[in-house]
Each structure stands twice: as C-alpha cells, then as structure tokens.
Amino acid sequence: MRAAAAIRERPPPVWTSNPPWAQDRMQFQQQHTESFGQFGLLSITDSTAYTSVPARQAFATEQDAPVNSTQHPHAVTHSPSPDMQQSPHNTGNAESTRQKHNFPPALVNYVTRAFLPENGHPEVDSPALHHKLKQIINGAAEHAGLTNVDWDNHPLPQQVLLREREQERELAREEDRERTRQREQERARQREQDRARQQDRDRGSMQRKRARSPSPVATSSSKKRKSSDLGPSHHDESPHGQANFGGNLDERVTYPIREKLSKKQRKRLGAADQGRGTYAGEVEARRRERFRVTTEPPTYLVSPFTPAPRAIPPPTNEEPIVGTCLNLEKPYFRQGDIAKAELVRPVHVLEKTLEHLQRKWQQDKDYAYVCDQFKSLRVDLTVQHIKTPFTVAVYESHAVIAMQMKDLGEYNQCQTQLHALYKQNLGGSPQEFLAYRIFYFIHTCNRVMMNSVIADLTPEDKKDPAVQHALQLRSALTLGNYRKFFKLYLTTPNLGGHLVDMFLERERLAALASLCKGFKILKLRYLAELLGFATIGDCYQFLVKFGVEQHISKLEEVGGQLAGKASFPLFEAAKKAAFGKVDIMGQK
C-alpha cells in the first residue's frame, strides 16, 4: 500500500511531453473534431436555406471570416441626400422608372427614413437594404398602387428584412423537418436529452468534486488535473472544434492520456487491490476517475446528425387562430410561434387567393412571385390548422407549378404533404400524384422510398391508368427495356412528362451505353425512333453533345450511323456522370 502511494505521488514522467501513442490519439481526435466541425457547418447551412440575404452575423463570426468581412455592420451611415431618395429606382425596372415623377411625398419620406443612420441596423447592410426597399416599392406599385399605401406606418425595409430573416430561419428548420421528419424529431429530442443530461452531469460533477476534495485520493487527482491544464495548446490546433466546444476541447484531448496513465498506475497497484472491499475507497476513486472523463461526450460520439436547435413547438396556439387579414396577396414570411390574426387570411379569402394565383400564373408565368405567394398561402393554412379538400387543392396546384418549373425542392415538399393529406381522404387526385411520386423516386434513385411506394399500393391504385403507366415505366427501366420506356415516355399522362424529362437524358445515355456495347453499327434513324427523339436531327444534336461526332458516318447515304465500339466509352462515362450527380433530396 505504501509502495502504491509512492507511485501515485511520483509525478508521471510523460505528462509534460506527449508520447507517440498519445499523439496518434490526439490526431485521431482532432480529425474527428474537424469532421464534426463540418457537420456543424452543414447544420448551419441547413438552417439558412436562403442565399439572397447576407449571412447572419451571429454565425458568421463563429464560422466564416470572409462572410464577416463583407458585412458592414454600420454601412447605413449615409446622411440622407436628395438623390438618395431615388437611388432604388436608378437600378429599378423600367416600369418604376417611368413612374418616377409620380412619387407621393409620403413615399419620399419613407425612403428618406429608411436611410437615416439612426434607423440602421448592424445586421442589415446597404446592398440588402437597397434591394429590399426596391422590392417593397415595386411590390406596392404593382399590387396596391403607390398612393394607396400608408407609407408613414409601413415598416422600414430593415425591419422587414430582420423579420423575414427570423422567419426564414424558423422556416428553414421547419422545411428541413418536413422532409426528414422522423430524423429531425430524433435530433431534437436527443438534443434536449443531451442538454438535460449535460446539466445533470455538470451538477453531478460539481457535487462530486466538492465531495471528493477532503479525501486523500483527491490530492492526487487534483494534481493530475493541474498537469492536464497544460493542455490548451492543442486548443488552437483545431479551429472547427472550438466553435462548438470552446474550452472543453483541451480537456477532452488530454484526458485519455491522463486516463491511460492513471490506469498504468492502477496496474502497478493491481496486486494490492485484489481483495475486494479492502480498498473499496480506491476502487471507488478509480471509478470516479473513469466517470470524470466522460462528463463530456467525446467528439466522435456527438451524433453525426447534428441536432439543429429546433424547439418543439410550444403549445401556444392551442386553439387554431382565425385570420382577419383580407388582402388577396401577401408576401411569404414565416409566422412566428404565435401567429398574428391580422397577418393571416381566413379561408374565404384564401380561396379567392388560389383562384387569383392560378390566373396570375397563367398570365405572367412569373414563378418566383407565384411560388412566394403559394408558400405564404400554405403558411396561412398551416397556422389556421386547415385540413380540408381546399388544402389539397392548394398543395396540388403548387406541386404542379413547381414541377413545371423543375423546382424539385418545392415539389418534394408539396408531394410529401400531399401524400399525408391523401391518407386522410380529403379528395384531390391521389392517383395522379402517386404517379408523379413514382417518377420522382425514379429520378432520385431512391430505392428505399420506391420500395415503400410499392408496399403501399392499393388494388385501387393499381387499376388507375396513370399509376399503371408509371409502374410500367419503372419496370421497363429496371429490366432494361429501353424501347418500352421511350414508348411509354411519349404517352405519359397528365403532367408527368415534366418529371420524366428530368431523367430522360440520363436514361438515354444508359440506353446508348448498352446499345453501343451490343451493336457494331447503329443507324441514327433507328436510334432516333428507339430513344424517342422527334427527328433524326434532334438525335444527332443529342449525340454530338457527348463528343461522338467523329464516330458518326454516312450522314448522306443512310441518314448517319454511329460506330458502336468507338462510342461506347464516351457514353459509358457520360452515363456514370449523369447517374452520379443525382441529388437525392431533389434540391436545387
């Protein structure tokens, strides 16, 4: 026992310089700290799914110096000058330039106020402010008329911006959740548990420290702690970890070394320790030691699905609110936790809005605007807990428009919602959209989801021509029956063609790779018909895109023929590339 104590008191020689194995271990940990840092970044980009506005400072300071440097917290320090009032319009669109002379004085006043330094906000820089101001004024000019707006009480652009960002931040999380709902729930709860447990542990470790200090064992362990405080040098080597863990990192880096040492000591103590209970105090101390190390989960344990700080919605709106806003159009912004009735439109207005939007889409085809309006419409439905056939109609309309514009991110959100809505038997066209859903999963090569689509098929679904068509198309692709696939493509019902178009080129390449391998000579006429091109010319245009021009011969005599063997590697590479870049989430 005395010998053991002597060993314990002797300062361990390796603590000052790290032995090679410790270095390895540290490197390993740092690597993982870094990879965690990347995850951290990811989660940040998740929550800022918008790119149009500058990065928030809160994150920028932590993560990204360049972004920070482009920000001018006090950029809005210009004194109001006369030409400043018109500055938004100098770059504005032609329409607003034409109307230059008709600015009501209230508007001029409003613009002036917007640029007053005392109204500036550190988070809103000048370009963003200009942009927003332009948006507000153009929006007003287009929809309400400049004279009809109460400019004196209209929120300033920076206020609008800040609110939007706040909402978008909220929304980004919400949207994320829509897609990966299950995973996200998991994250949030885990996060909460982690926090709770962390608090528990903090509390616990404090108590333990206090409890331990009078005991003789504590002196040695406190000595250890002191030595480990040499640690902070590692701290600087891991910039990513810092943001996430702050001062805790050094502790984690050095702990294992220390732990190993203490274990070594323990080994030496081993013999004296055999009789259980005799040295119960020491056994306990060892275990405490073991525990102390784990107060913080090591870097690689922090779950790879980095929890985004999403609060589970507080039960503030127990009763769904009923909106009182009567505007037909409303720009999209996320309602906060507590929706304000005066900013929400009631159903009877929303119904008109839908008609209006559909008309507007037919007329102008201004997708950015219509999409924004639809999102705002969806939010209004959500905050009022409206789950009716009308809700289905809104999502169907938006899905169709998004699909036509190849905005797969938005389409996928609508589709996910529709899938859940159809289960509640609210009408709509479940089969039509089921067919789209199949196309979507073909496009994203999502076999897991495709499996569940097939699993969920009802006999009724299987009888529907659109669904049958989609299933046949899928099966033709899987079985490599290209001819059937392109034939089916030409007869795609409803609007499914828009989705099939997304993977048409990819499948053409797959077909070409296969055909070039099998055929020595491929006539362009044959190819054009087989691959569903309208004309031989189209087919030719498509082929030369992939650099096979020199392998096409006899253009005059037989309308062109492609040398299979020579072209094969080109198409094979193009096919691989095309399949490789499919974004699984369908995001732009």
Partner 1 sequence: MEAYFAEVREALATQDGYRLAQTMTPVAPSDDPDRLHNFHRGCTAFDVQNTIRQAIIYDNEAHIPPSEGSGFVDVYVAYWKVLGVILAAEETTNGGEQADWVNVYNCWKELASIVNRHFDNAIFTAWSLPCLYVAGKYLRSYAILADEVAAKGNIKFNYGLSDDVVDGMAKHDYLEDASRKLTDFYKTCAGDRGPLDDESRKWGIYYIVNLQFKTYFKLDSINLSKSVLRSLQALRQDVPDLSLFPLSQFVTFKYYEGVIAFVDEDYKKAEECLNEAWNYCHKGATKNRELILIYLIPCRMITSNVLPTKALLSASPNLGSLFEPLVTAVKRGDLAGFDAALEAGENAFVKRRIYLTLERGRDICMRNVFRKVYLAGEPVPSPEDQTVSMRPSRIPIANLVAALNLVSRHNEVFDSEDVECFAANMIYKGFMKGYISHEHQIVVLSRTEAFPGTGI
Which C-beta is closer to partner 1: that of 175 or that of 407? Answer: 175
Which of 109, 217, 300, 367 touches partner 1 (CB under 8 A)? 300
Which C-beta is closer to partner 1: that of 3 or that of 420? Answer: 420
Which C-beta is closer to partner 1: that of 56 or that of 483? Answer: 483
Compute how many other C-beta atoms are within 10 angstroms of the C-beta atom of residue 195.
12
Which C-beta is closer to partner 1: that of 193 or that of 233? Answer: 193
Which of 15, 115, 255, 440 touches partner 1 (CB under 8 A)? 255
Here the contacts of 136-144 (C-beta below 8 Å, separation 24 or greater) are: 136/160, 137/88, 137/89, 137/92, 137/96, 137/107, 137/111, 138/92, 138/93, 138/95, 138/96, 139/331, 141/95, 141/96, 141/99, 143/329
**Subset of residues 35 to 74 that bind partner 1, contact rule: CB under 8 A:** 35
Q: State the SS3 of 543-569.
A: HHCCCCHHHEECHHHHCCEEEHHHHHH
Three-state DSSP at 522 gives: strand
Q: How far apart are CA 127 and CA 402, in angstroms?
A: 29
Closest separation between CB of residue 134 and partner 1, Å? 31
Token readout for 260 is 């190993």
Within 13 Å of residue 543, how many CA atoms lie on the same side as its CB? 31
**Subset of residues 306 to 345 that bind partner 1, contact rule: CB under 8 A:** 312-318, 337
C-beta of residue 251 within 8 angstroms of C-beta of residue 33? no
Q: How far apart are CA 108 and CA 103, in angstroms?
A: 7
Which of 12, 104, 139, 256 touches partner 1 (CB under 8 A)? 256
Q: How far apart are CA 41 and CA 221, in angstroms?
A: 37
Angle at 259 between CA 257 and CA 265, to 5 degrees: 105
Which of 70, 97, 152, 291 touches partner 1 (CB under 8 A)? 291
Closest separation between CB of residue 404 and partner 1, Å? 22
The yes or no reply on residue 79 touching partner 1 (CB under 8 A) is: no
Q: How far apart are CA 426 and CA 386, in angstroms?
A: 12
Which C-beta is closer to partner 1: that of 28 or that of 50? Answer: 28
Which C-beta is closer to partner 1: that of 110 or that of 245? Answer: 245
Compute how many other C-beta atoms are within 10 angstroms of the C-beta atom of residue 343.
18
Which C-beta is closer to partner 1: that of 284 or that of 549? Answer: 284
Which C-beta is closer to partner 1: that of 96 or that of 413? Answer: 413
Closest separation between CB of residue 293 and partner 1, Å? 5
Which of 67, 75, 293, 354 touches partner 1 (CB under 8 A)? 293
**Site map for partner 1, 537-566, x if CB under 8 A?**
---------------------------x--
The yes or no reply on residue 100 touching partner 1 (CB under 8 A) is: no
Closest separation between CB of residue 164 and partner 1, Å? 19
The closest of 421, 313, 405, 317 to 365, measured between CA atoms, is: 405
Closest separation between CB of residue 576 and partner 1, Å? 13
Tell me which stretch binds partner 1 (CB under 8 A): 2-10, 96-104, 353-361, 375-383. 375-383
Where does 35-97 show beta strands of DSSP type E?
none
Which amino acid appears at position 206 of this protein? M
Which of 28, 80, 505, 577 touches partner 1 (CB under 8 A)? 28
C-beta of residue 421 within 8 angstroms of C-beta of residue 428? yes
Three-state DSSP at 521 gives: strand
**Subset of residues 153 to 212 that bind partner 1, contact rule: CB under 8 A:** 174, 177-178, 180-183, 185-186, 189-190, 193, 197, 204
**Subset of residues 472 to 531 that bind partner 1, contact rule: CB under 8 A:** 475, 478-484, 513-515, 517-523, 526, 530
Closest separation between CB of residue 204 and partner 1, Å? 7
Which amino acid appears at position 536 of this protein? I
Which C-beta is closer to partner 1: that of 124 or that of 570? Answer: 570
The closest of 46, 19, 10 to 171, measured between CA atoms, is: 46
Where does 165-273 show beta strands of DSSP type E?
none
Which of 10, 98, 210, 276 touches partner 1 (CB under 8 A)? 276
Q: How far apart are CA 124 and CA 553, in angstroms?
A: 61
Which C-beta is closer to partner 1: that of 181 or that of 359? Answer: 181
Q: b/e per residue, 514-535, with b = 16+ CB within 10 A?
A: bbbeebeebbbebbbebbbbee
Closest separation between CB of residue 215 and partner 1, Å? 13
Which of 12, 19, 297, 331 touches partner 1 (CB under 8 A)? 297
**Subset of residues 431 to 470 that bind partner 1, contact rule: CB under 8 A:** 447-448, 450-452, 454-455
For residue 151, count CB atoms less than 10 angstroms from its CB and return exposed for 0-12, middle for 13-18, buried for 19 or more: buried
Q: What is the largest CA-CA distance in the chain?
A: 103
**Site map for partner 1, 381-420, x if CB under 8 A?**
xx--xxx---x---x---------------------x--x
The yes or no reply on residue 301 touching partner 1 (CB under 8 A) is: yes
Which C-beta is closer to partner 1: that of 436 or that of 571? Answer: 571
Q: How far apart are CA 257 and CA 253, in angstroms?
A: 8
Which of 7, 12, 19, 32 touches partner 1 (CB under 8 A)? 32
Which of 294, 324, 541, 553 touches partner 1 (CB under 8 A)? 294
Which C-beta is closer to partner 1: that of 316 or that of 535? Answer: 316
Tell me which stretch binds partner 1 (CB under 8 A): 1-9, 87-95, 123-131, 296-304. 296-304
Number of residues interacting with partner 1: please give it, by CB under 8 A. Answer: 92
